[in-house]
Amino acid sequence: MNPAPNLVLVGPMGAGKTSIGRRLAERFGLQFVDADHHIEQRTGATITAIFEHVGESGFRERERCALSELLAGEGQLVATGGGAVLDAENRRLMRERGFVVYLSAGLEAQMKRLARDRTRPLLQRADRDQVLRDLALAREPLYREVADLSMDTDGLTATDAATRLALQLASRWNFGGVAA
């Protein structure tokens, strides 16, 4: 059992990190933190604006600082951005300070869940499906590398996924010395 002080969700856009994360945090009495929202609050700018002004590398620098700050705490469920695993320091911090759950989702599920979303800078292109394929190719091995547990969210509502994940966590995550 991993006795990590935080629960960390990683995975691609549209996998359900935020919606499932909120439900799990409530169930386990954890503080829910969406890393992207945290960055927006700290900078006073939207993720889109950050990308426009300082590019992806500038955003990733802010993301690294935010995760370092967040994972220094305890008793949190941190829903990371899809690209947080790209940085080796982020992966190290996640493994050291969290029980990491990789929420996966197939391309069809991602396209359906993200159909109306116009807030994600990397998806502001006509070939959204190709972007998601390319991101999966680059990121999926990193999600697997950092994960203590993986779960496919295809075909599940956020409530069903959270319930299923909570049952799996009960036997694998030892929060604060007590099994979840």
In terms of DSSP H, where are the helices of the chain?
A: 17-28, 35-43, 47-71, 88-97, 107-113, 128-146, 158-170
pLDDT digits (tens, 9 = 90+) for 48-60: 899 889 998 999 9
Do 56 and 63 touch, CB atoms closer than 8 A? no
pLDDT given at position 116: 73
pLDDT digits (tens, 9 = 90+) for 13-47: 888 899 999 999 999 999 999 999 999 999 999 98
Q: How far apart are CA 165 and CA 159, in angstroms?
A: 10
Q: How far apart are CA 116 and CA 112, in angstroms?
A: 9
The reply to whether 60 sits in an annotated binding site is: yes
The reply to whether 120 sits in an annotated binding site is: yes
Q: pLDDT band for position 177 (50/70/90)?
A: very low
The reply to whether 82 sits in an annotated binding site is: yes
pLDDT digits (tens, 9 = 90+) for 159-169: 999 999 999 99
Domains, the chain, ranges and CATH?
13-169 (3.40.50.300)
Phi and psi angles of residue 147, each rounded to the nearest 5 degrees, phi first: -75, 135
- Check pLDDT > 70 for residue 114: no
The reply to whether 15 sits in an annotated binding site is: yes
The reply to whether 14 sits in an annotated binding site is: yes
pTM, full prediction: 0.87
Side-chain-facing half-sphere of 36: CA atoms under 13 Å? 20
The reply to whether 18 sits in an annotated binding site is: yes
The reply to whether 11 sits in an annotated binding site is: no
The reply to whether 16 sits in an annotated binding site is: yes
Q: pLDDT band for position 123 (50/70/90)?
A: low
Q: How far apart are CA 64 and CA 23, in angstroms?
A: 25
